[in-house]
Structure 1
Amino acid sequence: MPVVVLLSLALQVGCAVHVVRSGRPLYWIWLILIGSYLAVAVYVLVAVLPDLRHDPRGRQAASKAMQVIDPQRRRRELQRRLELSDTVDNRRRLAQECLDLGDYANAQELFRSLLVGMYATEPDFMLGLAQAQAGSGAYTEARQTLEALIAANPSYRSSEGHLLYARCLEELGETDAALEEYRVLADSYPGEEGRFRYGRLLGRHQRLAEARDVFEAQLRRAKLMPGYYRRKEQAWLKAAKLELTRLGES
């Protein structure tokens, strides 16, 4: 059977299922079956797309699809907003988007431009700057920013900031201090990255038995967690399994 015919059938079946699930008049099914591609196109325009716009899940899926197709789209939109209205919130949003996209140079510039006046020691902005600095490999500067953050905001707490500080110490060769920070994070970080980095650093410095204990405890604990948590942390759990296998071979 030609590919064109198979594709037409698949689209028709998909639209027919949508008719039934959305409670639309059943005559749509006959129109779709008779009209082939033209009817499918009309139905998508008048029924499927409006439903997607009003369905939060549909909007989320469409947003993710657009992000894959055009990852710079949101950045351009935020840039236009900033040009129209140079507000703190618009600048913050663009800075965060640059950070998420890995454009660390522009992220640093934007976060620095926010750290003035009444926002000179705003902890979230300082953390964003430190993340951009670390992303570009400037771990000394990132550490200094994080230390200035805590000095200016002693009551501020951030698991992401704590993890970033530990990573800076590791990258700068301060192993004992990094291990102490990771040890705390192994119990407090809301995810598996802290535990994984603790075990990996132990292993890298030949504390193999301790590293095995960390990874084994991590995997045992994960089995007790809900399925959605294991799916969310799948990459770190897989990495922990690989490290445990490597340690078993050493």
Structure 2
Amino acid sequence: MSPLLLLSFALQIACCVHVVRTGRPLYWVFILLVFSFIAVIVYFIAEILPDLRHNPSARRTVRNVRNRIDPERDRRDAAKLLKAADTPENRRRLAEESLRSGDYTHAAELYEQALKGLYATDPDLMLGLAKAQFGMGDAHKARDTLDALITANPGFRSADGHLLYARAVEDTADAAAAIHEYEAVVQGYPGEEARARFGLLLKRHGDQARARAVFQEILDRSDAAPRYYRREQQDWIAVAKRELATLQD
């Protein structure tokens, strides 16, 4: 059997399985089996593509692929929007894209420019500025910005912001305060990064037993988690496995 026929057969079967699993009309099975490649293309356009457009995970995958091909596209688009209309929203968008691309200096400048007037204490802008400052290697400034954020917005909650604060406190050589912050942030952080960083901090400061318990908790949680979670957290799970092995030597 030729490779082309094998590919056609595989795509037809995959689409038929999709029809059954997603509850599509069963006449699609007949169409797919009879009309081969043409039916697969029509089915993809009619049934699968609309779902991809409205699926957050699919959109994120498409965005990641696009960013690998052209990592500066979103940043260029944001710069064009800001040039056309210098609004707080456009400035925030360009700041976020600069932050994402690793241009922390430019991101910090944009956030500082945006933090004026009605937006002088905007929590999202202040958090973005703290991220940029931390990315630039200035943990003290990042900590000060986050302290100011909480003072101005006592009701603001952000898991990423809390983790950033713990890291900033850690990098300012305040180990006791950092441990306290990590103890709080790991309670509700949606992922294993906070636990992994907490374990690393405990290990560096000689609390081997507690570090071992934190790393073991990561592995226990990941073993009980769905496959997609283990895939998303694989880097931090790998850290836990590596560090746990060294602690058990």
TM-score (norm 1): 0.79
Q: Secondary structure at the match of 2:186?
A: helix
Task: Show CA shifts across 1:180-230 (max 9, x none).
Answer: 111112222121111111111111111111111111122212222222222
CA contact (8 A) 1:196 1:215 kept: yes
Taking the aligned partners of 1:195 and 1:206, their CA distance within structure 2 comes to 17
* 8 Å contact from structure 1 (residues 143, 168) kept in 2: yes
What is the match of residue 138 of structure 2?
138
**Would the alpha carbon gap of residues 212 and 93 (structure 1) be closer, same or farther in structure 2, given more than 3 Å must change?**
same
- Report the Cα distance in structure 1 between the residues aligned to 2:242 and 2:201, rounded to whole angstroms: 14
Contact 2:195/2:218 (<8 A) preserved = yes
* Partner SS state of residue 187, structure 2: helix
The more displaced of 9-18 and 104-113 is 9-18
Larger-Rg structure = 1
1:242 deviates by: 0.7
In the alignment, is residue 114 of structure 1 matched against residue 108 of structure 2?
A: no
CA distance in 1, matches of 2:62, 2:118: 38
Q: Which runs of 5+ in 2 are unaligned?
A: 20-27
Separation of aligned partners in 1, 2:182 and 2:15: 54
Pair 1:61–1:13, CA change in 2 (3 A) = farther
The corresponding residue for 1:241 is 241
Aligned pairs for 1:5-154 within 5 A: 54=50, 56=52, 61-154=61-154
- In the aligned structure 2, how far is the partner of 1:175 from the partner of 1:152? 26
Asked if structure 2 preserves the Cα contact closer than 8 Å seen for 1:81 and 1:90, the reply is yes
Inter-CA distance 238–117: structure 2 relative to 1 (3 Å threshold): same
Q: Match for 1:82: what amino acid?
A: L
SS at match of 1:142: helix
CA gap 1:198/1:15 in 2 versus in 1, 3 angstroms:
closer
Alignment: residue pair count = 233
Q: Offset of 1:11 from its aligned partner? A: 8.2
Q: CA RMSD in A?
A: 2.9
Matched residue, 1:37: none
**Percentage of matched positions with identical amino acids:** 44
5+ residue gaps, structure 1: 33-43
**Quick check: 1:53–1:59 contact (8 Å CA) kept in 2?**
no
| 2:220 aligned with 1:224 | no
